[in-house]
């Protein structure tokens, strides 16, 4: 997508993945005609599908390699998870809204774009039984980096997370340098729906 390239995304593999995945599959009826505009849109349960630039930005920071084992927090529409799967990653994605989890699970099975497993859980807890992960991506705005998630990262692994208050967050890339050491890099401002505690059953 040329708009995204113009905004600074350079990784050709990421651009190709975004180009090849029809975004309207992931959008609500009535919004489909807006699918190729670089904006976030509602997907039900008070949640949004991130704008393609944001998806591309987070994906680029993750430096995905084929077969990377990735944890995504905030499945939402399943769009970001599908982009990661298209890049060859093995994706484990968590959603806390039960109705959204069910709806997206059905869609992802139907689309069958790659290796994606979905979970209805609280993302703060990660997925201990599949840890450690090569990469992690948080697609909801957090107040700080949850320690539980940092501990489920491989040494050399990368975690991309927006941190801030409810209105605006700064993107961070955290690299686990050793058992106890983490390197923190800071990027631009974004706006995500909040990273909430617990699950929301129907
Ligand atoms: N990645 C999504 C965009 C997600 S919006 C996409 O590609 O469409 C953020 C999502 O994070 C919302 O669906 C919200 O319900 C979810 N979320 C917020 N807090 C969470 C938590 N603790 N665990 C799991 N999911 C969470």
* Residue of 23, 55, 76, 190 with the most ligand 1 atoms within 8 Å of its CB, for mutation: 76
| Alpha carbons 46 and 172: distance in angstroms, whole number | 25
- Tell whether ligand 1 has an atom less than 6 A from the beta carbon of residue 27: no
Helix axes 79-86, 98-111, angle to 10 degrees: 40
pLDDT tens string 135-169: 999 999 999 999 999 999 999 999 999 999 999 99
Residue 50 annotated to the active site: yes
| Alpha carbons 114 and 189: distance in angstroms, whole number | 30
pLDDT tens string 81-127: 999 999 999 999 999 999 999 999 999 999 999 999 999 999 999 99
- Tell whether ligand 1 has an atom less than 6 A from the beta carbon of residue 4: no
- Total-model pTM: 0.97
Say how many Å lie between the CA of residue 35 and the centre of ligand 1.
19
Superfamily of domain 2-190: Vaccinia Virus protein VP39 (3.40.50.150)
- Tell whether ligand 1 has an atom less than 6 A from the beta carbon of residue 49: yes
Q: Helix, strand, coil shares of the chain as percentages rounded to 5? A: 30, 30, 35
On the question of pLDDT at 2 being above 90, the answer is no
Say how many Å lie between the CA of residue 202 and the centre of ligand 1.
16
- Tell whether ligand 1 has an atom less than 6 A from the beta carbon of residue 84: no
**What does the domain layout of the chain look like in residue ranges?**
2-190
Give the DSSP letter string of 14-40. HHHHHHHS-GGGGS-TTTGGGTTSSS-
Kindly tell me the sign of the dihedral angle through the C-alpha atoms of 67, 72, 75, 78.
negative
């Amino acid at each position: 997508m040329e708009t995204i390239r113009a905004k600074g995304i350079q990784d050709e593999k990421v651009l190709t993945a975004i180009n090849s995945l029809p975004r309207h599959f992931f959008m609500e009826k009535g919004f489909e005609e807006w699918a190729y505009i670089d904006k976030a849109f509602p997907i039900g349960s008070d949640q949004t599908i991130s704008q393609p630039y944001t998806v591309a930005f987070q994906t680029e920071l993750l430096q995905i390699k084929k077969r990377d084992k990735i944890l995504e927090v905030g499945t939402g529409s399943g769009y970001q998870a599908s982009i990661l799967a298209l890049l060859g990653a093995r994706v484990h994605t968590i959603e806390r809204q039960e109705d959204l989890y069910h709806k997206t699970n059905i869609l992802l099975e139907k689309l069958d774009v790659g290796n994606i497993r979905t979970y209805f859980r609280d993302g703060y807890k990660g997925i201990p039984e599949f840890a450690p992960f090569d990469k992690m991506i948080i697609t909801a705005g957090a107040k700080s980096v949850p320690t539980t998630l940092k501990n489920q990262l491989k040494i050399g692994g990368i975690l991309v997370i927006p941190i801030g208050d409810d209105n605006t967050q700064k993107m961070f890339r955290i690299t686990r340098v050793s058992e106890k050491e983490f390197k923190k890099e800071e990027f631009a401002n974004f706006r995500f729906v909040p990273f909430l505690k617990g699950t929301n059953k129907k």
